[in-house]
Amino acid sequence: MTERIEWKPALDHPELMAEAVRAAMTRFDGSARIARIDPESADTAAFCERYGLALDTSANCVVLSAKRGGEVSYAACVVPATRRADVNGVLRRHLGARKVSFAPMEEATGETGMEYGGITPFGLPKEWPLLVDKAVHDTPWVVVGSGLRRSKLRVPGPLLAELPGAEVLSLTK
């Protein structure tokens, strides 16, 4: 049996967002919704199964580590939960890196101030590129992390293009 999820206005529940996410959400019109969830079900597949949502309504935000000339930089990408980011093709070329990989958990959480399994495109460091897959952008509503494992955000897909450093591209295989 699936559990019911109750979406509420995100700005009315700042306690359900990581600090950087709260600050980022204040610049939007209040269209974002948030729901408290069981932190044990924060991973996308478990979340969708437990709360009866289709996997294609969710997106994953992953932190990338790009290396070139001995230097490391970070970027984030947001892709549909049903697809895989083309890390070694599109993303590596777009970032102009010799090598791109998923950042280790400690780096991803340390650089973002967010919990692993709750990383979201809202509140990322402003100097980071934020690459949003076109399919996510074109989705009327998409579920993403809140910066914490105990909640999820539901936002209009086009809203992600308004975030600092955001670019909309085709990022998946």
- Cβ burial of 131 (10 Å; 0-12, 13-18, 19+) is buried
How confident is the model at residue 17, as a pLDDT? 97
Contact of 36 with 150, CB cutoff 8 Å = yes
How confident is the model at residue 29, as a pLDDT? 75
How confident is the model at residue 69, as a pLDDT? 87
Contact of 155 with 141, CB cutoff 8 Å = yes
How confident is the model at residue 1, as a pLDDT? 57
- Kindly give the parts of the chain with pLDDT less than 50: none
Structure tokens at 139: 């989705």
How confident is the model at residue 156, as a pLDDT? 96
User: Which has the closest alpha carbon to 73: 92, 89, 53?
Assistant: 92
User: Which has the closest alpha carbon to 165: 69, 103, 78?
Assistant: 78
DSSP structural state of residue 90: I
67-116 per-position pLDDT tens digit: 998 899 999 999 999 999 999 999 999 999 999 999 999 999 999 999 99
Q: Which residues pair with 33 in a beta bridge?
A: 9, 154
